[in-house]
Structure 1
Amino acid sequence: GTVTTAGGLIFSAGAFDNTVRATRLSDGRELWNHPIPYTAQGTPMTYLSPEGKQTLIVVVPVFNSTRGSGYEPLQADEEDPLGGYVFAYRLPLN
């Protein structure tokens, strides 16, 4: 999924290629990317801290249902024995 900031950045979390990207809304230029260990299965989110600092959050499960990932999806009543990942990226101040 994607999330767009008020500052004109689009963040996309690797649904197909295990990469988080920041793209400038005005011209589509990729400004930043970071590899993640598996495909993300949710829309990234951002929040502002009480100090006004913005953070991007990306959640990546270990077992996901993306074809070709080598993992099978868990049943609804199963727990993931390996857990997953939560990545937090602090956005620079302009």
Structure 2
Amino acid sequence: MKSLAFRRLLAHLDSRKDVQNIELMNLSGFCRNCLSKWMLAEAETLGVDLDYDQAREHVYGMPYSQWKEHHQLPATEEQLAIFKAKNG
């Protein structure tokens, strides 16, 4: 069940490429990169061979560099201010 919910979350995020990571961080405290890090940590716990780039590709559905090129926008001053206020 958990893995199905995780796959559904990834599919939802994939369908909302317009939602930037900084927006996710500001609203929820986690983003796609966090999911990648959590996936990597769980893989290490289970002894599964996975590196950070592979985890990010799984979460983003493509190589991270490609996602950044096609979907990542520069953070606005307002987004950065909110992030800084919440994260010090």
**TM-score w.r.t. structure 1 length?**
0.21
- Structure that is richer in strand per residue: 1
* Structure number, greater radius of gyration: 1
Q: Which has the higher contact order (CA 8 A, sep 6+)?
A: 2
Structure number with the higher helix fraction is 2
